[in-house]
Structure 1
Amino acid sequence: MPRRKGAPEVNAGSMADIAFLLLIFFLVTTTIETDAGLDRMLPPIEPPEEDVIIKQKNIFTVNINKNGQLLVEDELMNLKNLRNAATAFLENNADGSCNYCKGRKDAASSDNPTKAIISLKNDRETKYSTYITVQNELVGAYNDLRNREAQRLYNQDFTKMEAEYLNPETPSAVRDDLKDKVKRIQDMFPQKLSEAETSTN
């Protein structure tokens, strides 16, 4: 009876090289997604030397209950009306010091954009999706006003200007040109969005 031949040997000497090359290929070509998160300015570590007195009319209060209902300035409000209400508050210009504002100059509302503060408070049982949606609407009010002024002054969209300025791949010459423009628009409508302590009721 003839003797069976064994299975041919596979030369595995180069397998490690191939695996290593594949690993390098995937590391180089894969893009890693990073979460942008919420853009918020943390309070300074050192408390201010003098007590800051804020008039109640310069605070726009937004409360979210556990059912997702909005109580804005002590009145129930539909989410679709929130952005317009916040915009009207931010550019109310009661003291007349803002020459670019188009507000009603209501004496009972905010004095000017630099003094206007939006205070957001939510219930502990508020859905996260509702909380984020409300945040987006409030930030959207700031962005709408900033975009309007960027169009007027520079004929550009502010959100695109800011994104290009913050992009590390933007050439330094372009970033230097955008720096003063972005800061000027931000100073015109500073984003003062305060988050009050969460309610347990």
Structure 2
Amino acid sequence: MARRRQTPTVQSGSVADIAFLLLIFFLVTTIIETEEGLDRLLPRKEAQTPEVPINDRNILEISINNQNELLVDEVRIGLEDLRLTTIAFLDNGGVSKGENGHCSYCQGLRSPESSDNPQEAVISLNTGRESSYGVYIAVQNELVAAYNALRDREALKTFGESYTAMSSEYRNPQTPQERREFLRARIDQIQDLFPMKLIEANTK
């Protein structure tokens, strides 16, 4: 009688354990990239929003047409000129209740055809239906950079520390709570000097 041939078997009892360990390893070591959005605080919805009259000289009209061309007050400019144009508008200091009837901390030309003061200055951004998202983000970055440049100037003059550095430290989760409260007070003080009034709606 012939002997029955035995088929060799593979010990697979530890395969599940190894697979589980590999899964944990990749979950722990893998970095998932996330896209950052725009840092914007949306206003609360109100039943009736009061209409606030805005003087035309206090509005900086910025438009991106369907050909991705940038127009400021209906004049075409390059993206590289947008930051300085915005700074000049915000920092104009034409009329205010400060010293000598003008914004006491503004260093602009005080043109009667530009913004009265930073508290009244409004930036209106309108985009065409076919304008690219990349150009829109680039414009947003330049506008934020213009505000940060003015806020940095006043923060350095007032506190000896830049606004962007304080904001970065404030957003750091490792910053102690007491330090965060201290920074929050300073950040609010600087933001009151140059409040960001950026709207994406028809202001006319």
TM-score exceeds 0.5: yes
Identify if the C-alpha distance between structure 1 residues 128 and 50 changes in structure 2 by more than 3 Å, giving closer, same or farther.
Answer: closer
1:77 paired residue number: 77
| Identity in percent | 49
- Structure 1 counterpart of 2:64, one-letter code: I
SS of 1:26's partner is: helix
- 2: CA distance, partners of 1:151 / 1:159: 10
SS of 1:85's partner is: helix
SS of 1:182's partner is: helix
Deviation at 1:139, TM superposition (A): 1.3
Query: What aligned pairs does 1:127-146 form with structure 2 within 5 A after superposition?
Result: 127-146=132-151
Deviation at 1:181, TM superposition (A): 1.2
- 1: CA distance, partners of 2:114 / 2:57: 5
1:11 paired residue number: 11
- 2: CA distance, partners of 1:74 / 1:104: 21
- 2: CA distance, partners of 1:52 / 1:147: 29
**2:174 equivalent to 1:169:** yes
Query: What aligned pairs does 1:105-184 form with structure 2 within 5 A after superposition?
Result: 105-184=110-189
- 2: CA distance, partners of 1:27 / 1:100: 52
- 2: CA distance, partners of 1:196 / 1:164: 33
Give the TM-score normalised by the residue count of structure 1: 0.87
SS of 1:60's partner is: strand
- 1: CA distance, partners of 2:178 / 2:28: 28
- 1: CA distance, partners of 2:51 / 2:4: 99
SS of 1:160's partner is: helix
Identify if the C-alpha distance between structure 1 residues 123 and 48 changes in structure 2 by more than 3 Å, giving closer, same or farther.
Answer: same
- Structure 2 counterpart of 1:187, one-letter code: D
- 1: CA distance, partners of 2:39 / 2:10: 57
Give the TM-score normalised by the residue count of structure 2: 0.85
- Ranges of 4+ aligned residues in structure 1 off by more than 6 Å: 1-5
2:64 paired residue number: 64
2:22 paired residue number: 22
Deviation at 1:47, TM superposition (A): 5.1
Q: How many residues align?
A: 196
Instruction: Specify every segment of 5 or more residues in structure 1 that has no aligned partner in the other structure, as ranges.
Output: none
1:45 paired residue number: 45
Identify if the C-alpha distance between structure 1 residues 26 and 190 changes in structure 2 by more than 3 Å, giving closer, same or farther.
Answer: same
Between 23-32 and 156-165, report the one with greater CA deviation.
23-32
- 1: CA distance, partners of 2:181 / 2:33: 27
- 2: CA distance, partners of 1:92 / 1:67: 31
- 2: CA distance, partners of 1:43 / 1:172: 26
Deviation at 1:165, TM superposition (A): 0.9
- 2: CA distance, partners of 1:4 / 1:51: 93
- 2: CA distance, partners of 1:76 / 1:14: 69
